Each structure stands twice: as C-alpha cells, then as structure tokens.
Amino acid sequence: MAENIPEIAQVIKDAKAAFKAEFKQEAEIVVFAPGRVNLIGEHIDYNDGFVMPMALPLVTVIVGKKVSGEETTIITTNPDADPPKKATIEMPNKNALVKTIPPGPPKWSNYVKGVISNYVGETPPAFNALITSTVPTGGGLSSSAALEVATYTFLDALVGPSAVMPTDKALACQKAEHDYANVPCGIMDQFISVLGKKDHALLIDCRSMTSTLIPVADPNVVVLITNSNVKHELTGSEYSSRRTQCQQAALLLKKLSLRDAKLEDIEYLKSINASEETIKRARHAVTEIQRTQEAAEALKKKDFKKFGDLMVASHNSLRDDFEVSCEELDQLVKLAMEVKGVYGSRMTGGGFGGCTVTLVQKSAVNDVIAHVKKGYKGKPTFYICKPSDGAQIVAK
C-alpha cells in the first residue's frame, strides 16, 4: 500500500507541541511550504526552457515566535539532518550596510541563513523556530526548496505585509541555495513551492519567469510517486557538470542558452566534431523542451496516452543522453510500465537516485504498487498525490 501522507493540520499540531516542549512558550507563527514533483521538463530550468511541476501535499512546516535581542534559535526534527539539530544565528543588524550571515555548520541551518540573508525588504527580527517536514530528504522532491520557501514565508509573517512579487521571493530562495548550499539549481523548485495551486500543474517558462496553470483534476487518473530510497546529494559534481556542459554547448552554437537551439543545431555540433558528451547533453535539452510544451497541450486535452508517451521518452533521454538516471530508477520505470493502466513513468528530480513519477489510472494504482514491490530489488516507498497549494501563512 501507499504511504499515508499526514494531514498538514496534524503536522502543525505536532510541531506546535514540540516547540512548546523545547522553548517553554507557545508558537505564534505557523507557515508551510510544499515539496514538488516535476511531471516533465527535467534539467531544463537552467537552460531557460519549460518545466511542468506540481506542488505536493508533502510539506515543510515552521512554527515559532518573535523574540527580543539579536539571537535566533532554530531546531529541526529531520532525522536525516546533520547534527546538531539545534543552531543559533546572530541576526543581521538593522542598521548595517551588509546584512548577510556567514554560512557554517550544521549544514541544514545554511538554508535558513541563506534565506535570511537574501530576504527582500525590512530586516527580520530574531525568533525561535522549530522545523519539521514530511518531504523526504534526498528523494528528488525538493526538500531544500520547501525549507527555503517555508523560511521566507515565516519571515514574511514576522515582518508583516509585503509588496514583494512571488517571483522575487522564489529568486531570493534560489540565491540562498546557490550561495549557501553551493547548488547551482534552476528556478523551478522555488517557483512551484511559492506559486503552486490545488488541482493544477504549473507550466513555467524559465526565461520569462511566467507560468500557466494546467488542470490536473481527473478523478480517474492519479500521480504515483515511487521513492527508490537511493539517496543522492546535488552538491556533488554531477549536477554542476551537467549545467556546465549545457552552457558549453550553447556557446558552441552561439546561443544565449539551449532554449534557442533546434534539432538541426545538433547536426551542426556533429559537423564541427563536438564531443559526444556535448552532443548528447544538447540533444536532451532541445528535445525535452519540445516534449514539455507538447505535454502541456496533451494534458489540457486530457490526452493521457500522449502525455504518458512523452514521460517515457523523457526518461529515456535522461538515461541515455543526459546520463543522470541509475539502475534503480530504470528498474522502477520498467516495472511500472509493465502494468495495464499505466500511461507513463519517468525519473523525476536531479537524478542518481530519488523518485519516479507515474501517471496511472486510479483503478490500477494498487496493481502498480504490488508489481513494483514484487520486482524491485530495494524497498520502495509510494505516495499517491494530488496537486496542492503553494506556501501559506496559517497563523501569525
């Protein structure tokens, strides 16, 4: 059976109780931000292309309270976080010209420090906060963006009403990940965590920073996320190298980015004897951008067969041309596609572990889970998810 996703209300209740036990005071501010699953459009956001994620009912919750002085204390309940689970942060002086906080251990606290340092507007006051999450760490469902966006939303609740645009909030969180976690991520994860909407995926144009809501609300079709439970860290060299390889391909083509490249440009790369690696990376980017646009149109028409075919083609490209899949992910996709009622399946997220996403008829989802459990060599975790809302302030 699939995992029961905890109700957000229960997660909040538990977090408030833990906060009270730790700090001996009541939490006054409650916020959450979701993780995401990308339906199609992988490793394309940093190529200025189109991506199509949806926000998940898996969330990061932060509860807390403003305190006097300049020392912030944060606690995480995440069992995967590096110790210690409590960290103190000296908040920036409101009158200082430079309002950045230096990064430092524990690593998980750097996401919070980065968002505080990049917060747009009034310098936030000191606070006590407890962080808890139902987004699996290292699963490719963007636990990092959920933490960043939840932190930004918490700061919004502390400071008060803001005229800052949602896209600027997402960009501030992205910069935090670049500077404090050393991950040169694209904008997709933070964007969907801020702007997600119930019963919709979001087609994001990563060049113009505009988005289009795509309905995903057919009661007979579900999104099944399967966690391979193979861990990965995007701070490794592979993510950075893929981004660099795409930039090098764009330079050879004299393009601003691979968003501007076409299939005939792949032939040009071959003609100038570009490396096989460069050709493959460019081919994935060009074809994946095209697939994502086609997938959005298919979803609008409820053409789930076409959408599923595009998902499989996306996975094959990520496996063969972008080379970011792994044996476990390939096996999960193969097993899912063997079950009647499955439209499509693919790896999702950065790769080298994490999750697959499968579009399947509701009546067949239990068959898929049973078949994968029987055939997969590891111990998978399953989540049946519906598109959910983005970050919210629950109380302040």
Question: First and final CA of the chain: distance in angstroms?
Answer: 37
Task: Give the SS3 label for residue 320.
Answer: helix
Separation of alpha carbons 37 and 168, rounded Å: 22
Contact, 202 vs 41, CB < 8 A? no
Residue 81 burial (CB count, 10 A): 19
3-state secondary structure of 219: coil
| Residue that the structure tokens 């391979």 belong to | 228
Q: How crowded is the C-beta side of 73, counted as CA atoms within 13 Å?
A: 9
How is residue 323 written in tokens?
Answer: 């080379």
3-state secondary structure of 193: helix
What count of Cα atoms within 13 Å lies in the side-chain half-sphere of residue 161? Answer: 1
| DSSP line for 88-107 | EEEPPPTT-S-------SST
Residue 383's beta-bridge partner residues? 225
Entry field: residues in the chain: 396
Phi and psi angles of residue 204, each rounded to the nearest 5 degrees, phi first:
-110, 125
Q: CB of 368 within 8 A of CB of 336?
A: yes
Q: Determine whether 82 is an active site residue.
A: no
Catalytic residue among 189, 199, 321, 367: 189
Which backbone phi and psi does 349 adopt, to 5 degrees?
95, -165
- Residues designated catalytic: 189
